[in-house]
């Protein structure tokens, strides 16, 4: 998994590529944790995300909760596989997917 | 282990090489200096003697003798008489000259030089004949039978031809080794009263003794060098052995016995007993090895503690896993007295305690509840959360309660006790054994597979609500369908579809559907092992990352309603 972060004022964009699973989720969690201070808009780009496990969902949920307090979180370029996972797990209800 | 080239042998070889080069150079130089000095001294002596002899002869007499002799010689030069008679006749021609009174005086005077200088082997005067490039003997101070009487001639070597150009050069001293032994020869001109050169006084000094001395010198110096080299080599061997080899061997031995010392409990290790005081790098090495041993021992001790701690945790986790497994209903057939249903469920935890769980229980006499859930994450936190989730769901599923309400309440309760941001995907269904109505609620869990009697297993598309414990105040709504006798429900966790083989491929829905339909006619207790075997065959040697949990329910027959239910 690779994370490409880009901070523009209070807007943080992060493009995540590869597999977001049990082994890589802690990395994303730590990476977001250190950058979310003062961010009011978090944009996650999933164009190159191949796989998302429940551990990855947990990181997304934590990020969503944090962003609920300080602004908004938007997920972009969700492909079919990932979209299905969001559907099946009901995450579509709480995430803002563009 | 015996080294192929020990330090001892190496150091001896080095000493020998150095000694060889040094002594070779020393011998060469000293021999050359010694030889050159001696040669020069002999050259000077020979030339001095020749000059003395030349000065001793009376120039007038010599000039006269020379003129008379050369007159006879030139008449017929370079004669080579063969018989004794011819020789005697040849020499007899000069008898008039040698018979002169002064000739014997000259002989005696020159003889005194020869006899007073023991090394002088030959002393003679000769006259050069430039035409034949010969020297003709005028007088030879030699009483032996090998003496050269007047008239004897000798070829002048080409090397000395310069004397014909400039007679005053004479014959500069030179050293030769011939049938006469080692000789230093020199020739000085005899000057006439008019200053011209009339003859040459020739001297041959024997150098045999000097040469013998020189050999003896060479032998002595060689002997001394060899002895000195041997003594040095032995000394060095002893020193190297004492300050290098022995300490290194003791270090090597101590290091080699490190592990056996460790095993022999309570004994003092060989390393700690090392006592090397060479005040050099070897002592440093010894100190470092001692320190290393202390550090290693400390490390081993720490490691032992850590390992013990790990083992303890491992054992406790093992117990936890057993407790967790025993919380799931695992006695089959589960309801032997009921012929309306057949249910079977399995959970194969990954290595650690996991977060999957299944459950089934009778809500009341005619309602059977099944639960399938997966806590996000792994390990102890997930396992503890699973216990809470399982207990809450079972407690809230009471007769007549709406499943949507059950999940809504359970979700709020779980959110209260969720500090770790964990969540649970859960599916719960309640089957009315009398009517076949199957009410279900899905919080983010996989869709169940339904197999209608005579049909195929197909995923039953129901829209999932959000996972449990993810967010407070989520609303969950129950859905329902109707099952007929002979229908089967298969529910599972993502450990099945996401089982991964060594090529990083997922097992997936398609493979699952295929195997389910292969074994769809079997009983639940036959279907689950078949699916597990198929997953195992797919995964191969790759490690199992997630719990694999499955449940299969077959609705075999309608339950006869009781009187008061109607």
- Mean per-residue pLDDT of chain B: 88
pLDDT score recorded for residue B532: 95
C-alpha B431, offset from chain centre: 73
Mean pLDDT of the B543-551 span: 87
Question: Which residue of chain B has the CA closest to A68?
Answer: B471
pLDDT score recorded for residue B404: 94
Mean pLDDT of the B492-512 span: 88
Chain A residue numbers touching B463 (CB-CB < 8 A) = 87
Q: In the numeric block, which tokens belong to residue B99?
A: 């018979």
pLDDT score recorded for residue B118: 83
- Tell me how crowded residue B330 is: count the other CB atoms within 10 A of its CB: 12
Is pLDDT of B348 > 90? no
Longest dimension (CA), chain B: 188
Q: Does B443 touch chain A (CB under 8 A)?
A: yes
From first CA to last CA, the distance across chain B in angstroms is 95
Mean pLDDT of the B500-517 span: 90
Residues 6+ apart with CB under 8 A from B155: B133, B134
- Where is pLDDT greater, at B237 or A73? A73
Longest dimension (CA), chain A: 35
Answer yes or no: are the C-beta atoms of B465 and B477 closer than 8 Å.
yes
Mean pLDDT of the B520-539 span: 94
pLDDT band at B352 (very low <50, low <70, confident <90, very high): low
Contact between B467 and A89 using a beta-carbon 8 Å cutoff: yes
Q: Is the dihedral of CA B119, B122, B125, B131 positive or negative?
A: negative
Mean pLDDT of the B550-554 span: 95
Q: In the numeric block, which tokens belong to residue B437?
A: 């109505």
Q: Does B462 touch chain A (CB under 8 A)?
A: no
- Where is pLDDT greater, at B268 or B408? B408
Mean pLDDT of the B392-406 span: 94
Torsion angle of the four alpha carbons B22, B25, B31, B33, in this order, in degrees rounded to the nearest 10:
-110
Torsion angle of the four alpha carbons B446, B451, B457, B459, in this order, in degrees rounded to the nearest 10:
-30
Mean pLDDT of the B370-389 span: 87
Least Cα distance to A58 among B349, B355, B498, B496 occurs for: B355
Chain A residue numbers touching B443 (CB-CB < 8 A) = 90
User: Exposure string (b/e) for B264-302, b if CB count within 10 Å is 16 or more?
Assistant: eeeeebbbeebebeeeeebeeebeebbeebeeeeeeeee
Mean pLDDT of the A25-30 span: 89
Helices and strands in chain A, H and E counts: 3, 5
Strand partners, B174: B185
DSSP for B425-438? EEEEEEEETTT-EE
pLDDT band at B563 (very low <50, low <70, confident <90, very high): low
The span from the CA of B360 to the CA of B344, in Å, is 10
Classify the phi-psi angles of B527: left when phi > 0, otherwise alpha if psi is within -120 to 50, otherwise beta: alpha
Is pLDDT of A5 > 80? yes
What is the CATH number assigned to the segment(s) B329-565?
3.60.40.10
Is pLDDT of B545 > 90? no
Q: Does A80 touch chain B (CB under 8 A)?
A: no
DSSP for B45-105? HHHHHHHHHHHHS-HHHHHHHHHHHHHHHHHS-S----SHHHHHHHHHTTHHHHTSHHHHH
pLDDT band at B107 (very low <50, low <70, confident <90, very high): very high
Q: What pTM, to 2 d.p., does this model score?
A: 0.57
Instruction: Tell me which residue in A58, A87, A88 faces B376 most closely, judged by beta carbons.
Output: A58
Answer yes or no: are the C-beta atoms of B95 and B39 closer than 8 Å.
no
**Most confident segment among B334-338, B350-354, B468-472, B515-519:** B515-519
**A33-89 pLDDT, tens digit each:** 888 888 999 999 999 998 888 778 888 988 998 898 889 999 999 998 888 888 888
pLDDT score recorded for residue B395: 94
Q: What ipTM was assigned to the predicted interfaces of this complex?
A: 0.80
Contact between A90 and B443 using a beta-carbon 8 Å cutoff: yes
Q: What share of chain A is helix, strand, coil (3-state, %, to 5)?
A: 40, 35, 25
Contact between A62 and B421 using a beta-carbon 8 Å cutoff: yes
Can you tell me whether residue A19 is helix, strand or coil?
Answer: strand
Strand A11-20, strand A49-52: pairing: parallel
pLDDT score recorded for residue B561: 84
Mean pLDDT of the B526-542 span: 93
Mean pLDDT of the B206-219 span: 87
pLDDT band at A25 (very low <50, low <70, confident <90, very high): confident
Q: In the numeric block, which tokens belong to residue A47?
A: 């164009």
Chain A residue numbers touching B459 (CB-CB < 8 A) = none
Q: Domains (ranges, CATH) in chain A?
A: 2-93 (3.30.750.24)
Q: Do domains B45-206 and B329-565 have the same CATH topology?
A: no
Whole-angstrom CA distances from B521 to B240, B333, B429, B455, B496 are: 88, 18, 23, 10, 21
A–B CB contacts, 8 A cutoff, strictly below: 59
**B28-76 pLDDT, tens digit each:** 898 899 889 989 999 999 999 999 999 988 999 999 999 999 999 988 8
The span from the CA of A49 to the CA of B335, in Å, is 46
Element (H, E) at B440: strand B437-443
Helix A54-70 vs helix A25-35: angle between axes, to the nearest 10 degrees? Answer: 10
Contact between B376 and A54 using a beta-carbon 8 Å cutoff: yes
Give how far A76 is from chain B: nearest CA, Å.
Answer: 20
Least Cα distance to B202 among B126, B254, B273, B98 occurs for: B126
The span from the CA of B141 to the CA of B114, in Å, is 8
The span from the CA of B422 to the CA of B387, in Å, is 13
Is pLDDT of B425 > 80? yes
Is pLDDT of B564 > 80? no
Chain B neighbours among A 4-43 (CB < 8 Å)?
22
Strand B424-432, strand B356-362: pairing: unpaired
pLDDT score recorded for residue B305: 93
Q: In the numeric block, which tokens belong to residue B557?
A: 């027959």
Answer yes or no: are the C-beta atoms of B467 and B425 closer than 8 Å.
yes
pLDDT score recorded for residue B241: 85
Contact between B374 and A54 using a beta-carbon 8 Å cutoff: yes
pLDDT score recorded for residue B1: 57
Can you give the residue ranges of every domain in chain B? 45-206, 257-327, 329-565
pLDDT score recorded for residue B478: 93
B45-206: CATH topology: Beta-Lactamase (3.30.450)
Q: What does DSSP assign to residue B339?
A: S
Strand partners, B94: none
Write phi, then psi, for B252 (nearest 5 degrees). -60, -45
Mean pLDDT of the B155-175 span: 89
The span from the CA of B411 to the CA of B389, in Å, is 9
The span from the CA of A52 to the CA of A83, in Å, is 10
Whole-angstrom CA distances from B507 to A57, B77, B482, B493, B502 are: 20, 127, 30, 13, 11
Give how far B461 is from chain A: nearest CA, Å.
Answer: 10
Strand B424-432, strand B437-443: pairing: antiparallel
């Amino acid at each position: 998994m690779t994370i490409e972060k880009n901070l523009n004022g209070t807007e943080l964009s992060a493009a995540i590529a590869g597999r977001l699973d049990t082994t890589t989720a802690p990395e994303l969690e730590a990476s977001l944790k250190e950058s979310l201070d003062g961010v009011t808009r978090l944009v996650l780009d999933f164009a190159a995300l191949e796989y998302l496990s429940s551990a990855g969902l947990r990181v997304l949920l934590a990020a969503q909760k944090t962003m609920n307090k300080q602004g908004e979180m938007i997920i972009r370029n969700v492909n079919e596989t990932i979209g299905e996972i969001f559907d099946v797990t009901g995450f579509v209800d709480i995430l803002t997917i563009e | 282990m015996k080294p192929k080239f020990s330090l001892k042998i190496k150091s001896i070889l080095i000493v020998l090489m150095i000694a060889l080069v040094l002594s070779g150079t020393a011998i060469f130089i000293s021999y050359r200096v010694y030889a050159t000095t001696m040669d020069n001294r002999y050259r000077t002596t020979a030339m001095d003697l020749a000059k003395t002899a030349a000065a001793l002869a009376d120039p007038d007499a010599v000039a006269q003798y020379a003129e008379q002799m050369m007159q006879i010689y030139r008449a017929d030069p370079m004669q080579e008489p063969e018989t004794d008679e011819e020789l005697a006749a040849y020499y007899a021609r000069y008898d008039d000259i040698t018979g002169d009174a002064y000739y014997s005086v000259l002989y005696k005077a020159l003889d005194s030089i020869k006899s007073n200088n023991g090394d002088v082997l030959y002393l003679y005067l000769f006259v050069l004949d430039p035409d034949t490039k010969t020297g003709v003997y005028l007088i030879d101070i030699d009483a032996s039978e090998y003496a050269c009487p007047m008239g004897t001639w000798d070829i002048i070597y080409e090397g000395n031809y310069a004397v014909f150009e400039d007679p005053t050069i004479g014959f500069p001293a030179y050293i030769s080794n011939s049938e006469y032994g080692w000789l230093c020869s020199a020739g000085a001109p005899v000057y006439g009263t008019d200053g011209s050169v009339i003859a040459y006084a020739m001297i041959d000094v024997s150098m045999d003794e000097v040469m013998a001395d020189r050999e003896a010198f060479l032998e002595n110096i060689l002997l001394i060098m060899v002895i000195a080299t041997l003594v040095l080599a032995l000394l060095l061997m002893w020193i190297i052995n004492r300050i290098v080899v022995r300490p290194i061997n003791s270090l090597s031995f101590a290091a080699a016995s490190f592990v056996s010392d460790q095993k022999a409990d309570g004994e003092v290790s060989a390393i700690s007993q090392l006592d090397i005081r060479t005040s050099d790098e070897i002592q440093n090495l010894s100190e470092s090895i001692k320190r290393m041993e202390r550090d290693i021992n400390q490390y081993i001790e720490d490691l032992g503690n850590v390992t013990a701690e790990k083992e303890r945790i491992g054992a406790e986790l093992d117990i936890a896993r057993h407790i967790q497994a025993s919380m799931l209903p695992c006695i089959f057939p589960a309801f032997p007295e009921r012929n309306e249903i057949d249910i079977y469920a399995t959970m194969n935890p990954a290595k650690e305690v996991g977060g999957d769980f299944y459950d089934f229980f009778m809500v009341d006499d005619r309602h059977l509840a099944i639960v399938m859930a997966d806590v996000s994450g792994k390990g102890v936190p997930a396992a503890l959360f699973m216990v809470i989730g399982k207990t809450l769901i079972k407690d809230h599923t009471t007769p007549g309660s709406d499943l949507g309400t059950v999940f809504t309440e359970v979700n709020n309760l779980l959110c209260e006790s969720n500090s770790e941001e964990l969540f649970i995907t859960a599916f719960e269904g309640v089957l009315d054994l009398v009517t076949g109505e199957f009410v279900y609620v899905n919080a983010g869990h996989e869709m169940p597979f339904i197999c209608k009697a005579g049909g195929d297993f197909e995923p039953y598309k129901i829209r999932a609500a959000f996972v449990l414990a993810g967010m407070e105040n989520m609303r969950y709504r129950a859905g329902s369908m109707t099952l007929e006798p002979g229908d089967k429900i298969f529910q599972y966790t993502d450990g099945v579809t996401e089982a991964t083989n060594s090529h990083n491929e997922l097992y997936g829905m398609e493979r699952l559907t295929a195997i389910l339909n292969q074994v769809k006619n079997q009983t639940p207790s036959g279907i689950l092992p078949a699916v597990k075997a198929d997953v195992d065959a797919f995964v191969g040697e790759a490690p199992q990352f997630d719990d694999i949990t499955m449940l299969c329910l077959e609705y075999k027959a309608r339950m006869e309603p009781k009187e008061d239910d109607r």
